[in-house]
Amino acid sequence: MRFDAPELALGADGGHGPVGYRVEHHELGRSVTFSFTDRPRGLVGRHQYVVQATGSERCTLWHLTHITPRGLLRFTWVFFWAPLHNALIEDSLYRAGTAVAVDSGARKTWSLYVRALRALSSVLNLGSAERVRSA
């Protein structure tokens, strides 16, 4: 993830690869909500990470999305964008688990289909996020 601010702050613009979003809500250690900024065109909605305490030393990390593809994205979502999104979210949840020293099991490898989509994305130059820096 990359942002145009030095930290995860309300209103910070950022994204990953070709997907742009803005920090809509952030409660340190509890939740963060991102709204999509119509990059790629037609991507409307938000996604959110929520930490829920499930015991004195346990928690559950949730990833929630509400996406309404519009225009051409309605036709490319299922076959192109959704598999890439799902692989990215799986990676982020795995990294979150390992960051807090939880045994997240073996890291899932990307399917051949996702690897092909990533290669196509690179060829089409869809993987560059403009005007943002590493957070």
- Looking at residue 11, its pLDDT comes to 93
- Looking at residue 104, its pLDDT comes to 65
Each domain of the chain, given as residue ranges in start order, spans: 2-126
In angstroms, rounded to a whole number, what is the distance separating the alpha carbons of residues 85 and 128? 15
Residue 49 reports pLDDT greater than 90:
yes
- Looking at residue 97, its pLDDT comes to 84
> What is the separation of C-alpha 130 from the centre of its chain, rounded to a whole number of angstroms?
16
Residue 131 reports pLDDT greater than 80:
no
Confidence band (pLDDT; 50, 70, 90) for 124?
Answer: confident
Verdict on whether the full-model pTM lies above 0.85:
no
Q: Evaluate the CA torsion angle 75, 80, 81, 86 in order and state its sign.
A: positive
C-beta of residue 11 within 8 angstroms of C-beta of residue 22: yes
Residues 64-81: tens digit of each pLDDT = 999 999 999 999 999 998
Yes or no: is domain 2-126 CATH 3.40.50? no
Residue 132 reports pLDDT greater than 80:
no
